[in-house]
Structure 1
């Protein structure tokens, strides 16, 4: 039993973002027919993308006069959220269009090669959003010097709300070994803050540290803080794995028993074949 569990979750191939049934990246966990794209799910993904891309664009515009927008972890994380949402919507739209027109099937096959990128970015965005929300409101936010306005909530609170909802909506899994991407992301931002400090970079207020808890004038406490945040990211990733597994089990237990699965029509079989053919180009 342990051997099967280890082989399933910890085999080296589990690190790579490839899936044996790629249609899961364009379907919702809760839709009854999981063999083809769902228009209701398309509406959901469109709304989700707008909830990310609009605040993301506004935040860039607000910081345009300072040139400091790229240095903050909040903006790194929100960019991850926005990018994965856009790619996820693009994948789904390509499948919906291919369903309506045979001429679009070649475009779908090309577009769906992006599913590994979407998978990695979605995994990163989920744990990073949760970490940003917790760390910001517990360690960074200062009620005396920082505004609590709509934008502050959207990028430091609503980001986690949306990613948590999405974690329950998507049908693709969260793999344990994909935590390596989260760890690499954490160390990448840590290295960036150190390089930025060494190059004489400053924050909005002219101080040498981007965040007060990341002050490289105090290397030991800052190193421990960064390491602690990375460990926290790992914990959050594992929680996301559990939630995704719980979502799948709940679907199997509750939704699948509501009706006997009808035999797939020839049209649905054909559509599923087109989707998987297009998405399986990169599977090795």
Structure 2
């Protein structure tokens, strides 16, 4: 009996080792993708920052401008933005590598549900970032420049501006993942469609509460986030109706 147990232990170790090697290979591909995109973007780093700063610069009072309060900020801040942009552009490749690593261990019905969720999650995150850049940030900066006290000159540090905009992008990108979160909760059995419909009024209150917390202190920005979140919640209900019933299969499905 000892020999079969020993062989089983060796097989488990070899299987674990092969999985670790595959994980390492795919992580290296992710890192290589980001580095390649970063190298390509570095020559355009200053132009990228100018485009990022456009929503604020266009609304600054005459004669006002962004400033750099640290010696290395004019060099490091655009480089930091180029790195964020490389992550943003390379995210489809990163998600594909992670999917290729975990998908062999999923059941067929899990794969059928996970594929559209991954694509939708990525698209909704990009949509949230674009929504923040083109609609919310201009409205927020218009409000902030309008309420600047008389005698105070608005001159924002470039590093602080980058941190603020990246935080807004991340927050809006996550908030736009509402349909994906709703589908996942329904798929794992935490909630069902009738419960989600009954919770609609709580979702609306939660959307306005979250919007009030993460948006700049103006009513326009709060409404511009809360309303899309409510609509996305309704989209999540439709997605649950379309996707979740279709995946009902026996627990004994064979893996691909």
Q: Same fold (TM over 0.5)?
A: no
TM-score, reference length from structure 1: 0.28
Higher relative contact order (CA 8 A, sep 6+): 1
Larger Rg: 2
TM-score, reference length from structure 2: 0.31
